[in-house]
Structure 1
């Protein structure tokens, strides 16, 4: 049997500590890796167009994770649908739900990387990956959250100024308010029939108002003090699931923030027939 000496014990401990440190560093490096884009229809693009799309998509993923935290999933399916002639750089996009969520992109194949990066659409769709799929009557929650967060992401990435951030949200709220005058049924009922009613402005911007109001309430908390973005970062780590009712999602955000802000607002908003009152000054003073 070998004799264990003090020197050998110290050497063993040193090696153990070194291995533990290496493992910790490896985990940090692993956690720091952004989600990777896995493309569909990539071969339909020329080499130059592939480079443009890569630049655009990777920039959007980095900007989104910088603002909202690392996604729980390690890769994102990006289904490409390049168009030859479009007036808009990204005329349409949607989320793909599955074992690994992704994004379907319809875009102008001849648009420059700079033009695509300045477009809000991809940031909106990537923001959807931070919440689970809700029932259709609660799509005002998901669309409102993504509409609010697309502006948070773009501001944090330096793509829009604080003044532009305020202008975009304020202008959107005015559009939502205007449409509510003619489509003033309960919000959940309007959401269920959003496409037939053409009520996107009412639905999206009432939902955005919900999260602006939640942000205002969070800003007023003394301790603990969170923002919506910080709550979503924590939510990815502790509670993210593929399928969850909006009400349960609100409860999780309340647990993390140690408040009842989200559940109370949800009960207030889901059946409302009017449009929320939020001032331009309140938006300009948001801490997010």
Structure 2
């Protein structure tokens, strides 16, 4: 009887995903690890969809790359753009469910799937959205507290401020060359600041970035897009000029915006 209720709970949870999660290479793990990874992946997709809405795609392939020696649960991951889009996850095969759940990486990569593939010069938007939203998802689902949410964002912003002192190119130029320049901190977290400021402005209209992205999934998300087209669609959905105005400030900026902990605490 106990097994029946556990099975029923898992089926109900998986059905709530509204997307079929297909985990490749799961059989390379022990039976206990298979169960752990399956629960972690499906619960993470559910948490993400609770914040951002259902993914547009009906199938989500997850390609596992288990490691024997890893210093963190998910040392590396990436989006695999295809039809459908998927994720490649390099994981610690011995990590616990609790360790996986508290790791930010999967929430970050899942967030990428809500945006179209943008050109390299617009990667500050892609990475900024994922860096900001990973913390929103973890906060919304109770994995981190509101003070931890503020602390994590502020820490990321501090790293970006520091790197901005040496990486002084316009943001769109640096974005296109961030791997060679090793400028990920400035690119990722300046992009996150963009979406945090957008949320602050949208709050005045009773809206949110997550809510606009939910609508974007339903009506407008293509496989690829220019940054300007993406931004214009978000403004149409919000009935405002919030995104276009911020984009004009951020796209070629060479400094880091001024965002206080007090402002972040209102998000």
Question: How high is the TM-score relative to the length of structure 1?
Answer: 0.86
Structure 1 position 187 matched with structure 2 position 168:
no
Gaps of at least 5 residues in structure 2 are 1-14
Quote the offset at 1:48 in angstroms. Answer: 1.2
- Counterpart contact for 2:17–2:49, Cα < 8 Å: no
Q: Name which of 230, 254, 266 aligns with 1:249.
A: 230
Following superposition, the deviation at residue 32 of structure 1 comes to 5.3
Question: 8 Å contact 1:137–1:188 — kept in the other structure?
Answer: yes
Name the CA distance, whole Å, in 1 between partners of 2:43 and 2:18.
11
Q: Which residue matches 2:216?
A: 235
How many residue pairs get matched? 253
User: Are the equivalent residues in 2 in contact too, given 1:186–1:273 (CA < 8 A)?
Assistant: yes
Which position in structure 2 is the counterpart of 1:21? none
CA contact (8 A) 1:210 1:269 kept: yes
Q: Which residue of 2 aligns with 1:170?
A: 154
Deviation of 1:240 after TM superposition, in Å, equals 1.2
Shift of 1:34: 2.5
> Any idea what the Cα deviations from partners look like across 1:35-87, whole Å, max 9, x if unmatched?
22112212211211110110110110000000110111112110000000011
Q: Distance in 2 between matches of 1:107 and 1:271?
A: 36
User: Aligned Cα RMSD in Å?
Assistant: 1.1
Alignment correspondent of 2:5: none
Is 1:214 aligned to residue 198 of structure 2?
A: yes
The answer to whether structure 1 residue 285 and structure 2 residue 266 are counterparts is yes
Q: Which residue of 1 aligns with 2:22?
A: 38
Give the drift of 1:99.
1.1
Residue 255 of structure 2: aligned partner: 274
* Conserved 8 A contact 1:34-1:61: no
Structure 1 unaligned residues grouped into runs of 5+: 1-30
Contact 2:21 2:61 (C-alpha < 8 Å) held by counterparts: yes
- List aligned pairs for 1:2-41, cutoff 5 A: 33-41=17-25
User: How far does residue 219 in structure 1 lie from its aligned partner after superposition?
Assistant: 1.1
Structure 1: which 4+ aligned runs deviate by more than 6 Å?
Answer: none
Larger Rg: 1
Structure 2-normalised TM-score? 0.93
Alignment of 1:128-147 (within 5 A): 128-147=112-131
Q: Give the secondary-structure state (helix, strand or coil) at the position aligned to 1:106.
A: strand
Distance 1:157 1:217 in 2: 23
